[in-house]
Structure 1
Amino acid sequence: MNLSPPVILTIAGSDSGGGAGIQADIKAISATGGYACSVITALTAQNTCGVEAVSAVEPDFVRAQLDAVLYDMPVRAVKIGMLANQAIIREVAAVLARSPHLPVILDPVMVATSGDPLLDEQAMTALIDDLIPRATVLTPNLPEAACLTGQPVPTSIEQMHELVPALRHLGCPYVMLKGGHLHQTPESVDMWISRDTCQTLRARRVETTNTHGTGCSLSAAIASFYAQGMTPIEAGRAAKQYLTEALAHSHQLTIGRGAGPVHHFYAYPDNLCLLPAEHAVAELP
């Protein structure tokens, strides 16, 4: 059998713990039917408990990775995550300018779970000026949307609606505003914003501590479904459904001591050879 799945390029940082970043993107793309290739922008020393150190990749080497992949691989869509600094953002923007019709799903990784900023002011300016207008779909969570618009972090669905005009002003045709931080709501509510419409995407809220890499996985799944021929809104809905199920099945995984990953391959249990946790690891030191 000769398979030719759509190729999706993920541009992001590496998570040594495997739950987020490039590793999560590759899993999500693979689980949803795509073929993942990658460009690494930063190396992180992290696990389920937190990030210990970050080392940005030299911008010239980021470009070398991009050139190598795009020369050879028939990339159908691009997912962008952590970009680390202004120089890397400008390199990525310059290379993508050569392929103006290539769909780009941009997850603006700007704020850590702790609330600490991950981009300095110059990098944020480059992201807003050089990359967001080039993107097809922008997928900010609530703290990231607040940073991008200069407004307070929404604490209700009504306040999410108040961000819509400012998010449209950024120049990206589609924005998926993720409401997962509204823990008081019984549902997980996102907003799909286009230039002239705003639709609400709802799913059951899954109570779990295994939430590491949710934003990465969602945007990667959008890119994968988009590359397979779905419209942007169809890809957004399908990716939200995929992530909801990956969260719902995450209790089947016992990984690390902190916030564990979602179960990217929940639909393929026969191929994972999953052992009960007590047999998989004898004892953690």
Structure 2
Amino acid sequence: MSLPPPIVLSFAASDPSGGAGIQADILTLAGMGCHPLTVLTAVTVQDTTGVEDIFVMDPEWVIDQARTVLQDMPVQAFKIGMLGSVEIVAAIAEVISDYPDIPLVLDPVLASSRGDMFANEEVISAMREMLFSQATIITPNSIEARRIALDHEDDLEILNLKQSADQLLQWGCSYVLIKGAHENTPQVVNVLYDVNGIVRSDAWQRLPGSFHGSGCTLSSAIAASLAHGMSITDSVYEAQEFTWHTLKAGFRPGMGQYIPDRFFWMESDNLEEEADGSDD
């Protein structure tokens, strides 16, 4: 018997399209050599064009799901996605507080890429108060970073991204990675901050198309890298590289957005094997 792979526990909503949410986490974690554990926070009705409805789980069910698997298996990282309610924020905060040494990646999913809202101001406030201080890294896009940092949505353009990161760090997280896909820049620039300022900045070629689940992929990939024992800076870079390649290999299975191919590397391996075989 071989040793088990690193184990990552993801708290997230179910996406029946397989593009985002818990399904994206499972595919990403498996694609990066981890064993995924899953705790459902909500069930959604959605496809690649958008979200039609959300059923939020009872917080006691969230706690029971998590406690059951955590009593059975040790985990090397936590990842949190869509939360759904203040009560679920409190439930998850209670669970993870018992594991202060386990790295936590928090992806503050506030809306779908189409703009369907997942979190109101009460949920955002609860995240700030109960989860940020427990997070190793928070991974908002630029829109989410500004919205979380400010109390009033009308003021979103006032803060620059450095100011937004500074505000998020004041709530206690160790690192903030602000994703720049929504910024008007030639390349996508993702910047990692800590209390001392910029830790690293990485620029990536913008790819054509609109993608469903890119944020879930990136945050899960960071969790996977941390579970493998990488440093935070190396984890952030490796996760970005993995995510960019999933987007480059993305496919459009339906009438809406493209879905990242989290097993892009299998196609590359197959091509290499075919090439090797042709030399025989």
TM over 0.5: yes
Which residue is equivalent to 1:278? none
* Cα-to-partner distance string for 1:217-253 (whole Å, 9 max, x where unaligned): 0000000000101011110010001111111111xx3
Which residue is equivalent to 1:96? 96
CA contact (8 A) 1:81 1:106 kept: yes
Corresponding letter in the other structure for 2:145? A
Which residue is equivalent to 1:237? 237
Structure 2 unaligned regions, length at least 5: 271-280
Which residue is equivalent to 2:106? 106
Q: Give the 3-state SS of the residue equivalent to 1:163 in structure 2.
A: helix
* Cα-to-partner distance string for 1:63-84 (whole Å, 9 max, x where unaligned): 1100111011111000000010
Which residue is equivalent to 2:275? none
The percentage of aligned residue pairs carrying the same residue is 34
Corresponding letter in the other structure for 1:209? G
Q: Give the 3-state SS of the residue equivalent to 1:242 in structure 2.
A: helix
Q: Distance in 2 between matches of 1:231 and 1:49?
A: 36
Which residue is equivalent to 2:73? 73
Which residue is equivalent to 1:181? 182
Q: Give the 3-state SS of the residue equivalent to 1:233 in structure 2.
A: helix
Q: Distance in 1 between matches of 2:82 and 2:237?
A: 23
Task: State whether structure 2 residue 33 is matched by structure 1 residue 33.
Answer: yes
CA contact (8 A) 1:154 1:160 kept: no
Which residue is equivalent to 1:254? 252
Q: Give the 3-state SS of the residue equivalent to 1:101 in structure 2.
A: coil
Task: State whether structure 2 residue 87 is matched by structure 1 residue 87.
Answer: yes
Shift of 1:207: 2.0
Task: State whether structure 2 residue 55 is matched by structure 1 residue 55.
Answer: yes
Q: Give the 3-state SS of the residue equivalent to 2:244 in structure 1.
A: helix
CA contact (8 A) 1:66 1:95 kept: yes
CA contact (8 A) 1:192 1:200 kept: yes
Higher mean displacement: 120-129 or 87-96: 120-129
Shift of 1:121: 2.5
In the comparison of the two structures, how many residue pairs are matched?
268
> Where do residues 116-265 of structure 1 align in structure 2 (5 Å cutoff)?
116-150=116-150, 152-153=155-156, 159-182=160-183, 184-250=184-250, 253-265=251-263
Q: Distance in 2 between matches of 1:58 and 1:202?
A: 39
Q: Distance in 2 between matches of 1:189 and 1:231?
A: 21
Corresponding letter in the other structure for 2:198? C
Corresponding letter in the other structure for 1:55? F
Cα root mean square deviation, aligned: 2.0
Q: Distance in 1 between matches of 2:68 and 2:207?
A: 42
Q: TM-score, normalised by structure 1?
A: 0.88
Corresponding letter in the other structure for 2:261? H
Shift of 1:203: 3.2
CA contact (8 A) 1:249 1:262 kept: yes
Structure 1 unaligned regions, length at least 5: 273-285
Shift of 1:270: 7.3
Corresponding letter in the other structure for 2:244? T
Q: CA 1:165/1:210 → structure 2, altered by over 3 Å: closer, same or farther?
A: closer
Q: Distance in 2 between matches of 1:203 and 1:12?
A: 28
Corresponding letter in the other structure for 1:177? I
Q: Distance in 2 between matches of 1:118 and 1:35?
A: 27
CA contact (8 A) 1:145 1:153 kept: no
